[in-house]
Amino acid sequence: MEKQKRNTKTKQMVLDTLLNEPVTARCHSDIVQQLDGKIDRVTVYRILQGFCDDGLTHKITDDTGKTYYALCRDCSAGHHDDDHIHFRCVNCDTVSCIKAPQQMPRLPRGYRASGMSCFISGYCPNCLPPERNKRPKSAGAKVKLTGRKK
């Protein structure tokens, strides 16, 4: 829960891997692999955690327990915007955030809900109709870390 105070090349490199996929969430091992051993895996864990603490990214756990990280759009540090759902394409196997307000279901008497997370699986736009695309890539605008001093 510690706020990060310095902007480094290392963090920028990790951020870049996320910016390459503006819609898609990425997992830790994926990022480490893309960085090709240039950054230690423990460091990547810490940087991703730091991004989450700073409100830059949010952490997603899919329905199988695998975790992903995705850039936040409408989140601020301390309060993540949960007004979206997560989606995994069963064809290209990518996880993404979708802006789709979800209504809290009616619970039986006695239960009081505070939060909800939904995970939907199916075909993403790039994979409809199925088999058209195996792993779509799209280029994202290059963004730099801006100063976030204490």
Partner DNA sequence: TTTATTAATGCTACAAAGTTACAATAATAT
Partner DNA sequence: ATATTATTGTAACTTTGTAGCATTAATAAA
Binding site for a second copy (CB under 8 A): 61-67, 85, 87, 90, 98-125, 128
Distances, alpha carbon 120 to alpha carbons 56, 84, 87, 90, 140, in Å:
23, 11, 5, 10, 24
Q: Could you tell me the end-to-end alpha-carbon distance of the chain, in angstroms, rounded to an integer?
A: 14
Task: Name 52's Cβ contacts closer than 8 Å, sequence gap at least 6.
Answer: 58, 59, 69
CA dihedral of residues 74, 117, 21, 131 (deg, nearest 10)? -140
Q: Which does 64 bind (CB under 5 to 8 A by kind): a second copy, DNA, none?
A: a second copy
Contact segment (CB under 7 A) with DNA among 16-24, 64-72, 105-113, 121-129 equals 64-72
Closer to a second copy by Cβ: residue 8 or 61: 61
Contact segment (CB under 7 A) with DNA among 42-50, 76-84, 90-98, 127-135 equals 42-50
Q: Which helix (H) or strand (E) holds 95?
A: strand 95-98
Among 1, 5, 107, 112, binds DNA (CB under 7 A): 5
26 makes contact with DNA (CB under 7 A): no
- Which residues contact DNA (rule: CB under 7 A)? 2, 4-11, 27-29, 38-43, 45-47, 49-50, 65-67, 147, 149
